[in-house]
Amino acid sequence: MTDAPVKHFPRPTPETEAYWQGCRKHQLLLQRCQQCSEFQFYPRIVCTKCASQDLEWVNASGQGKIKTFTVVRRPVSEAYAADIPYVVALIQLDEGPTMMSNIVQCDPEALRIGDLVQVLFEDWSEEISIPKFRPL
């Protein structure tokens, strides 16, 4: 018997571990530079603006707006077929950085660039929860 196809799980790396642990606890964490106060995503060992390594984790508001989006009609692989049609979007978080995610609990046809969204978390396993967004 063949196993059902599985979605692509993110594999945390040492410097992203804290981010994914935050997700597991349903908290969106962002790095903020202690030197220049800039928020950044994705997590790195250096500040993207001033190269400082003095970075702290901050509880993000989880709110943002849709920068752009698409409604995927043909799944990237079999594992995503059941979700069709699904929305892939770039979200600009209130703190500044942009992240990719899915928009869920929505009518894909009604979405517009600029719509306000709020993070939620999908539990994929004991270790991994994935941040997704729903329209406010």
Footprint on this chain of other proteins (rule: CB under 8 A): 7-13, 16, 41-42, 67-78, 80, 83, 86, 88-90, 98-102, 108, 113, 130
Give the residue with the Cβ less far from other proteins, 35 or 77. Answer: 77
Neighbouring CB atoms inside 10 A of 46's CB total: 15
Distances (CA, A) of 123 to 48, 49, 90, 127: 30, 33, 21, 8
Provide the minimum distance between the beta carbon of 59 and other proteins in the complex, in angstroms, as a whole number. 19
Give the residue with the Cβ less far from other proteins, 32 or 40. Answer: 40
Write out the two tokens for 136: 């406010």
Provide the minimum distance between the beta carbon of 136 and other proteins in the complex, in angstroms, as a whole number. 20
Provide the minimum distance between the beta carbon of 102 and other proteins in the complex, in angstroms, as a whole number. 5
Whether 41 contacts 30, CB under 8 Å? yes
